[in-house]
């Protein structure tokens, strides 16, 4: 204490020592803490003094579930609940009743497909025995409630969600269906009833619509003739809004593209287009054109079916793909120089081209992990190598997320879309090989990170 200082000064100095230092700037709370707090707020304080709560958290990523359980425990405790985490895989509601808990809070957590958000959905289930329902011991004393919350997912949360399946591969690859002939193009989308995605495959001879399980729904043969011969048959295919129908297909050498409508188990011709439908996704449709007399495309990426659209360059393309859900990467164009361009919604480059993103001519864009950025599901760019499916994270330092065992055949086409129904994109690739009689056959390979598909 300085000598001679007055008591008010002493008091001020003492106050400085006692009061905490002001925070420089409050950092946003971790995503899981924010989401847990939001869910606790939605739940509200304990009613009628019933504070004992059994907490059961489920997620397809166990590390995410464990960390979320801690955050929820803290958030609920601060709001007056006495929280007991549920352990074991048994009947949580039965456990809550047996343990004399007042409530069971069952929370399911995951990433919102295509969005960088973590979502929580909770069920608040009463677990006490009702005096008035003694003859029905399993009956709930009061109606249960559903509460939900979401928060922007920070990188740490994405990490927990992505690396959740310890020891499991990033995705699995399995054969979905086998089609006769050489599949030239694939597309996934809602071609008929809204909310029911289908898989569409085009060969030189026909278009086939398959269910997500690979069962044939409808097919239509192309009319014979009227096709300028090309040495390497090729086609483009898209599912989207094309006027009279939602399936648009163009074959190399054909004068015009066809628009098809799926009506029940019939595939009907609904119109024609003056440009090749390249792809369709949440960011829109793209149209282009085959180089005359060839199976490759001119470098045309037009938002409308404009036969006079000017090529961006003299390059030729193997194909163009759209991400089912538009994130930073909405489209990808693969040149015959094997350079893959990643494009945003505005068709401007979304990421620099890198050799590590090389792919063969069959590829797809699909946000397999639901982190909001589409992965490139690629084939082998080296014709002398064995064919393999590779999943590449285009914006990551080390893009390779998965490399499959060797695949029989050559992957020539691909498409992205949710086929397993888990709300997260999957990819389908067409691997063409030679059948026992020398004829071409195509195996459709499902690439998915759906945990139900993991071996």
Residues that bind another protein in the complex, under the rule CB under 8 A: 181-182, 204-205, 228-234, 253, 291, 293-296, 314, 316, 318, 335-338, 359-362, 379-387, 409-412, 432-434, 437-440
CB of 349 to another protein, least distance (A): 20
CB of 411 to another protein, least distance (A): 4
The full 3-state SS of the chain, as one line of letters, equals: CCCCCCHHHHHHHHHHHHCCCCCCCCCCCCHHHHHHHHHHHHHCCCCCCCCEEEEEEEECCHHHHHHHHHHHHHHHHHCCCEEEECCCCCCHHHHHHHCCCCEEEEEEEEECCCCCEEEEEEEEEECCCCHHHCCCCCCCCCCCEEEEEEEECCHHHHHHHHCCCCCCCCCEEEEEEEEECCCCEEEEECCCCCCCCEEEEECCCEEEEECCCCCEEEEEECCCCCECCCCCCCEEEEECCCCCCCEEEEECCECCEEEEEEECCEEEEEEEECCEEEEEECCEEEEECECCCCCCEECCCECCCCCCCCCCCCCEEEEEEECCCCCCCCEEEEECCCCEEEECCCCCEEECCCHHHCCCCCCEEECCCCCCCCEEEECCCCCCCCECCEEECCCCCCCEEEECCCECCEEEEEEEECCCCCCCCEEEEEEEEECCCCCEEEEEEEEECCHHHCC
Kindly tell me which of 75 and 431 has the beta carbon lying closer to another protein. Answer: 431
Kindly tell me which of 204 and 321 has the beta carbon lying closer to another protein. Answer: 204
Kindly tell me which of 195 and 229 has the beta carbon lying closer to another protein. Answer: 229
Kindly tell me which of 80 and 223 has the beta carbon lying closer to another protein. Answer: 223
Q: What is the rounded CA–CA span in Å between residue 217 and residue 179?
A: 13
Kindly tell me which of 87 and 231 has the beta carbon lying closer to another protein. Answer: 231
CB of 164 to another protein, least distance (A): 30
Kindly tell me which of 88 and 383 has the beta carbon lying closer to another protein. Answer: 383
Joined together, the tokens standing for residue 213 give 């399980």
89: buried, middle or exposed (CB in 10 Å: 19+, 13-18, 0-12)? exposed
Kindly tell me which of 211 and 336 has the beta carbon lying closer to another protein. Answer: 336
Kindly tell me which of 352 and 438 has the beta carbon lying closer to another protein. Answer: 438
CB of 362 to another protein, least distance (A): 5
CB of 87 to another protein, least distance (A): 47
Contacts of 102 (CB under 8 A, 6+ apart): 46, 50, 51, 52, 53, 126, 127, 128
Contacts of 243 (CB under 8 A, 6+ apart): 259, 270, 271
Kindly tell me which of 83 and 411 has the beta carbon lying closer to another protein. Answer: 411
CB of 401 to another protein, least distance (A): 18
CB of 453 to another protein, least distance (A): 22
Distances (CA, A) of 47 to 83, 85, 126: 15, 20, 11
Kindly tell me which of 126 and 360 has the beta carbon lying closer to another protein. Answer: 360
CB of 325 to another protein, least distance (A): 25
CB of 442 to another protein, least distance (A): 11
CB of 247 to another protein, least distance (A): 23
Kindly tell me which of 82 and 433 has the beta carbon lying closer to another protein. Answer: 433
Joined together, the tokens standing for residue 128 give 């006490």
Kindly tell me which of 61 and 357 has the beta carbon lying closer to another protein. Answer: 357
Contacts of 84 (CB under 8 A, 6+ apart): 52, 53, 54, 55, 99, 101
CB of 295 to another protein, least distance (A): 7
CB of 75 to another protein, least distance (A): 49
């Amino acid at each position: 204490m300085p000598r001679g200082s007055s008591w008010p000064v002493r008091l001020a100095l003492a106050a400085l020592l006692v009061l905490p230092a002001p925070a420089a700037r409050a950092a946003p709370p971790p995503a899981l803490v924010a989401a847990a707090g939001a869910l606790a707020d939605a739940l509200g304080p304990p009613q009628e003094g019933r504070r004992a709560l059994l907490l059961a958290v489920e997620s397809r990523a166990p590390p995410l579930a464990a960390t979320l359980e801690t955050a929820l425990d803290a958030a609920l405790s601060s709001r007056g609940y006495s929280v007991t985490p549920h352990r074991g895989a048994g009947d949580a509601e039965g456990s809550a009743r047996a343990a004399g808990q007042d409530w069971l809070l069952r929370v399911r957590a995951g990433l919102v497909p295509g969005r960088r958000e973590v979502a929580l959905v909770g069920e608040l289930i009463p677990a006490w025995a009702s005096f008035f329902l003694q003859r029905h011991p399993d009956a709930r004393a009061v109606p249960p409630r559903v509460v939900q919350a979401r928060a922007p997912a920070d990188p740490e949360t994405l990490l927990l969600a992505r690396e959740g399946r310890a020891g499991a591969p990033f995705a699995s690859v399995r054969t979905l269906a086998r089609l006769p002939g050489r599949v030239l193009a694939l597309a996934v989308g809602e071609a008929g009833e809204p909310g029911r995605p289908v898989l569409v495959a085009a060969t030189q001879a026909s278009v086939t619509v398959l269910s997500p399980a690979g069962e044939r729904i409808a097919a239509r043969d192309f009319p014979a003739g009227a096709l300028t011969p090309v040495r390497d048959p090729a086609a483009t295919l898209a599912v989207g809004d094309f006027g009279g129908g939602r399936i648009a297909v163009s074959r190399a050498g054909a004068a015009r593209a066809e628009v098809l409508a799926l009506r029940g188990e019939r595939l009907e011709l609904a119109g024609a287009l003056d440009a090749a439908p390249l792809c369709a996704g949440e960011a829109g449709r793209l149209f282009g054109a085959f180089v005359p007399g060839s199976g490759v495309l001119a470098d045309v990426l037009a938002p409308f079916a404009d036969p006079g659209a000017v090529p961006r360059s003299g390059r030729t393309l193997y194909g163009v793909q759209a991400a089912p859900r538009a994130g930073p990467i909405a489209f990808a164009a693969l040149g015959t120089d094997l350079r893959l361009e990643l494009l945003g919604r505005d068709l401007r480059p979304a990421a620099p081209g890198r050799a590590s993103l090389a792919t063969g001519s069959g590829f797809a864009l699909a946000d397999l992990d639901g982190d909001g950025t589409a992965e490139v599901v690629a084939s082998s760019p080296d014709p002398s190598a064995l064919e393999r499916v590779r999943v590449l994270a285009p914006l990551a330092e080390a893009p390779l997320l998965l490399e499959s065992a060797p695949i029989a055949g050559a992957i020539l086409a691909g498409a992205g879309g949710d086929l397993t129904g888990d709300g997260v994109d999957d990819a389908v690739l067409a691997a063409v090989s030679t059948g026992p009689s020398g004829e071409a056959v195509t195996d459709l390979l499902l690439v998915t990170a759906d945990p139900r598909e993991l071996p």
